[in-house]
Amino acid sequence: MNLPTGHNNPQPVDAAIVPRFGAIPTFMRLPYITEPTQVDIALIGVPWDGGTTNRAGARHGPREIRNMSSFMRKVHHVSRIAPYELARVADLGDAPVNPIDLMDALKRIEGFYAKVHAAGAVPLSAGGDHLITLPIFRAIAKKRPIGMIHFDAHSDTNDRYFGDNLYTHGTPFRRAVEEGLLDPKRTVQIGIRGSIYSGNDMEFAEKSGMRVIYMEEFAKLGVEKTIAEARRVAGDGPTYVSFDVDGIDPAFTPGTGTPEIGGLTTLEAQHLLRGLQGLDLIGGDVVEVSPPFDQTGNTALVGATLMFEILCLLADASARRRNR
């Protein structure tokens, strides 16, 4: 997949010709290409929320993120990264799912990503609830555990629910560590907050070696030092960016299943993401956008914009790897 890139790359529809409200909405108004070998970065929807223990709705996330991604333009105004110059990017459509059978859904999702990974494409996904990250990891991190920059209100390292259920959107990263997919020592969690079930809730995250930056610590550290700490933890190895929109305050992202007040602002989130440029980023996702709870549409707009921010990082990382 180390093909040359440039002006023949897929390009978004031009908003000075086709207005933003026009045309069938794909991610970033890019072409819909189903063949992963034709892209460097694959934008993928995972319309599934079968792991949700409280308010469902993230199954509708990909459609509304696609809708709102029509607002995105072509160049990042701060980093000046032009992702469609640096990489071949397209909308690969949605991963297959099963809304009524959790275990089957996990398999279908993994299978889809395995093909994308085999084709050498880097996945950037729109969830869906946070459990989707587990089958993605199973597809892309089989050979060696990866690091992760994880934005979230919740650690998602719980053990089980409703008796003995191991797989919910509250458990993916415990499972990922247990399965050897995620390296906890190269994992940083940012924005964690909210009341807890017991004093032991964070035990797994902390004992396994994850670096947990609670919202309160973030408020003290500020953006720059948090970036430095995240970079220190992730190091040089392959790293994934997983962004649960409930890491942001629900004034900005009301459309999510488990909102917690007192979160990040979107400006802070953007600054944090921009600080990750230069890491060896190999994938990313934006999850837990839940349109039925998103009356203003702002959550989907935040989701689309964060996808664009991560896309710029991935395109830059992709170009760096090509030029190495």
Per rule CB under 8 A, is residue 225 in the interface with its own copies?
no
Among 40, 49, 183, 285, binds its own copies (CB under 8 A): 49
Site for its own copies in 150-179 (CB under 8 A): 160-163, 165, 167-168
Name the minimum Å distance from CB 114 to its own copies. 19
**CB-nearer residue toward its own copies: 30 or 230:** 30
Report how far residue 16's alpha carbon sits from residue 136's, in angstroms, rounded to the nearest whole number: 36
Token couple for 147: 């690091």
Residue count at the site for its own copies (CB under 8 A)? 98
| Residue 143, phi then psi, degrees to nearest 5 | -75, -40
Among 71, 221, 277, 321, binds its own copies (CB under 8 A): 71
| Residue 45, phi then psi, degrees to nearest 5 | -95, 145
Per rule CB under 8 A, is residue 57 in the interface with its own copies?
yes
**CB-nearer residue toward its own copies: 109 or 121:** 109
Among 2, 3, 6, 18, binds its own copies (CB under 8 A): 18
Among 3, 6, 19, 144, binds its own copies (CB under 8 A): 19
Element (H, E) at 113: helix 102-118
Query: What b/e string do you get for 263-297 counting C-beta neighbours within 10 Å, with b at 16 or more?
Result: bbebebbbbbbbbbbebebbbbbbbbbbbebbeee
Name the minimum Å distance from CB 152 to its own copies. 13
Asked if residues 187 and 147 have their Cβ atoms less than 8 Å apart, the reply is: yes
Per rule CB under 8 A, is residue 277 in the interface with its own copies?
no
Name the minimum Å distance from CB 144 to its own copies. 30
Report how far residue 51's alpha carbon sits from residue 106's, in angstroms, rounded to the nearest whole number: 10
